[in-house]
Structure 1
């Protein structure tokens, strides 16, 4: 190909701007594998990547996009072959290495996962980093004792966003029956219920963080937002319970005391989806491809690259529901 379309983020006169441009292969970072991108997806991190002081992109100009699925068109690594369908999420992609918001991407062979059986190139981007993170969160909580047989009281925050919406669906699909969804706006309540929540709570119903220990309302919390919401919830986790934490849409600061930890023995479980070792990723994708596969029922929108700015603004302003995937 001579040229192809890509979103280019640049810093000009102390402002960060982005637009759809014609580029060539010289615009791509180095790597052993060239991929014809079929789909990408939009995550909260992708929204931050196109903001001034977003803390995602390390150098400009850059092609953002932390997810992609597609077909290998050239490889110098004998682990892969031309025509093979693959998925790439995380690592440095869309940060310091050109990412998935382009018709072609060149990546390290060490970042690639072969397309799992039972999933299409579209399906894996319905999941994307959001689904991968949801799976990591559920696995972490189950390792700390969350079990269907105990009918635990589970709360999912940010429940109609990417990670939250997929988490609700997976938890419901695999048999959990006592799932509360935390929402901010009235229209999100019915959405959360349609995704599998058995109960809906509004943020203003959580109360203020005015006690080191509050009533033990939840056994496990799958938190996607951080900040004040997470701070308010820590004193409400039951004895021996756990909270997974994977996002910072609500802020990066956490206010708490040591009392929930030393008097109730609760656990905070940090979830990182970016640098999960490649050898561990296949297992997670197999879970998503089989018993945790909700790709056909999740809340999705499909757009083109030209429609990206509208979705970015929706994510920025808290108006985005479910998952948005980009088709090339």
Structure 2
């Protein structure tokens, strides 16, 4: 195969010195399917990897990027054929396996998911890992009995990638959504996605009691820490809380009271190692009943590989609303 461009990190401790290099086919890891990448996206985990502020990359040299979408260039699998429009999210991509910040990726066939027929390759990465994670939260909450009749659903970190798509998906599904965001300029954006209310974290009314008056039907939490702890005592009987993120801290100081007295369920959402059947269901539904009205509307910034470091720093500095699309091969690929 031809040489290609990739954002590469050469060694541990030097993540922030990574940059665009030229690689060849022999530099790619083993796998059944070779994908020519059209687009990737810049997630919080990717921003940590690119800047070296988190130990995301597990081996070196390494190409970051936890998701990718494009067209199959070659395949040793009967289930995936050249020309197929496909995507990969999670599964160790961009952590233990060279990721999507490259013009080509080679992966095992069981990591590969078809892009839904109703979705373009570009839209697939406008959704990306963030969109799949938000969809997984909705699927798991509804499987546990969540309905709009239980009451408002709170989405924390609502201006971020996962949060903004969750606002859209839940509002489209008939839920009244309260978006929690500390970014005042993002309020109009979130209302445009369907938020009935946009509230600052210090105005949502967190509780320090073991159990408090039930105010919310459920919670999609992308922050963790004290924000999650302060919402749990206020969830309605048999409501559900989907725990996704840790930007607010990894510790959770709470009690068992919401679980044993109200039947509240705390659901962990781990999209990276999601079972394949659930992964296929999530993407199928993102092209069907969960399809957003305007996936392109999530994209608030589009960057090339050469711009990754600046874009990553902006994400970590909380200067970005919505999704950052990474243009690798672009529409010419698909």
* TM-score by shorter chain over 0.5: yes
Whether the 8 Å CA contact 1:11–1:17 is kept in 2: the answer is no
> How many Å separate the matches in 1 of 2:297 and 2:154?
19
Write the distance in 2 (CA, Å) between the matches of 1:279 and 1:208. 37
SS of residue paired to 1:193: helix
Partner of 2:177: 179
- Aligned match of 1:264: 262
Aligned to 2:324, the other structure's residue is in SS state: strand
Say if 2:29 and 2:97, in contact at 8 Å, map to a contact too. yes
Shift of 1:259: 1.7
**Residues 206 and 232, structure 1, Cα contact 8 Å, conserved in 2:** no
Please give the alpha-carbon distance, in whole angstroms, between the structure 2 residues aligned to 1:14 and 1:105: 22
- TM-score (ref. length: structure 1): 0.94
Give 1:203 deviation, angstroms. Answer: 0.7
Aligned length: 326
User: Once the two structures are superposed, what CA deviation does each residue of 1:68-123 show, in whole Å capped at 9, x if it has no partner?
Assistant: 11111111222221222211111011001001000011111110112211111111
Paired position in structure 2 for 1:164: 163
Point out where structure 2 has 5 or more consecutive residues left out of the alignment.
330-334
Q: Cα gap change, 1:210/1:173 in structure 2, threshold over 3 Å: closer, same or farther?
A: closer
- Cross-structure match for 1:42: 42
What is the match of residue 18 of structure 2? 18
CA RMSD of aligned residues (A): 1.8
Which fold has the larger relative contact order, with Cα–Cα distance below 8 Å and residues 6 or more apart in sequence?
Answer: 2
TM-score of the pair, normalised by structure 2: 0.92
Work out whether residues 246 and 270 of structure 1, in 8 Å CA contact, stay in contact via their aligned partners in 2: yes
- Report the Cα distance in structure 1 between the residues aligned to 2:210 and 2:86, rounded to whole angstroms: 48
Match 1:248 to one of 246, 249, 253: 246
Q: Tell me the distance in 2 between the aligned counterparts of 1:302 and 1:209.
A: 39
Partners of 2:217 and 2:236 within 8 A in 1: yes
- The answer to whether the 8 A contact 1:166-1:298 is kept is no
Counterparts of residues 1-328 of structure 1 (less than 5 Å): 1-11=1-11, 16-52=16-52, 54-148=54-148, 150=149, 152-176=151-175, 178-207=176-205, 209-294=207-292, 295-296=294-295, 298-300=297-299, 301-327=301-327, 328=329
- Secondary structure in 2 matching 1:11: coil
Distance 1:322 1:12, change over 3 A: same
SS in 2 for 1:263: helix
SS in 2 for 1:247: coil
CA offsets per residue over residues 182-232 of structure 1, 9 Å max, x none? 011211222211111001111111345532222322110011111121111
- Partner residue, 2:332: none
